[in-house]
Amino acid sequence: MAYVIKRYSNRKLYDTQESRYVTLEEIEEMIRAGREITVVDAASGEDLTSVTLTQIILENERNHRANLPSAFLHQLIKHGEAWQEFVQRTMRSSLEGFVSSQRDMERVFREWSSRSGWGPVTGAATGAAPAASDATKRDGGTEAEAEKLREEVSALRDRLRSLEERLQKRKADAK
């Protein structure tokens, strides 16, 4: 569920879920924490999300000096809408590439974990414990370490799945 932030004519930003005013820095922290943010004009209901997020990026640019080269910024201004279309296409393509790479990484990790004796990656996700290898059965101390690693892998897999779902949602929203 997206957090709704209302922007008033005095430029104050109001978080409707928390019932409090927030700053651009707090909105940036919310986004970094994984929250989806929607900013709307309090009077008209107009969507101001892109404008507000751009403002956050520009504030970061001002505070960190020279993150974006001046020549690049000149070209952005000079080419206007054509640039916006280019950026949208490029970002869409980059996100698709990222998702594809993530799937390839998952496949390689699944193969590697299977060869390492951790069992199939899907086993831990469904609650079934992967079968221990003969070497693990012989060495009692390694059994606990192997179980700990299985749990870590399971947690990483869950996080990876969550990130992929968020990325798919953003990809769908961008269309």
Q: Yes or no: say if 37 and 27 are a contact pair by the CB < 8 Å rule.
A: yes
| pLDDT above 50: residue 129 | no
More confident residue, 64 or 16: 16
Query: For residue 106, which amino acid is it?
Result: E
Query: Is pLDDT above 50 for 109?
Result: yes
Checking if the pLDDT of 118 tops 50, the result is yes
Over residues 108-134, the mean pLDDT reads: 60
Residue 8 has pLDDT above 70, yes or no: yes
Question: Which secondary structure element, helix H or strand E, spans residue 14, and what is its range?
Answer: strand 13-15
- Asked if residues 118 and 153 have their Cβ atoms less than 8 Å apart, the reply is yes
Contact residues for 162 (Cβ-Cβ < 8 A; gap 6+) = none
| CA-wise closest residue to 2 among 28, 42, 31, 22 | 31
| pLDDT tens, position by position, 132-161 | 444 444 445 577 777 777 788 878 888 888
CA angle 103, 104, 106 (to 5 degrees): 65
Give the distance, in angstroms, between the CA of residue 4 and the centroid of all CA atoms in the same chain.
19
By CB neighbour count within 10 A (0-12 exposed, 13-18 middle, 19+ buried), where does 34 fall? exposed
- The per-residue pLDDT of the chain, averaged, comes to 79
State residue 98's pLDDT score.
87
Q: 77-96, pLDDT tens digit by residue?
A: 787 777 778 877 888 888 88
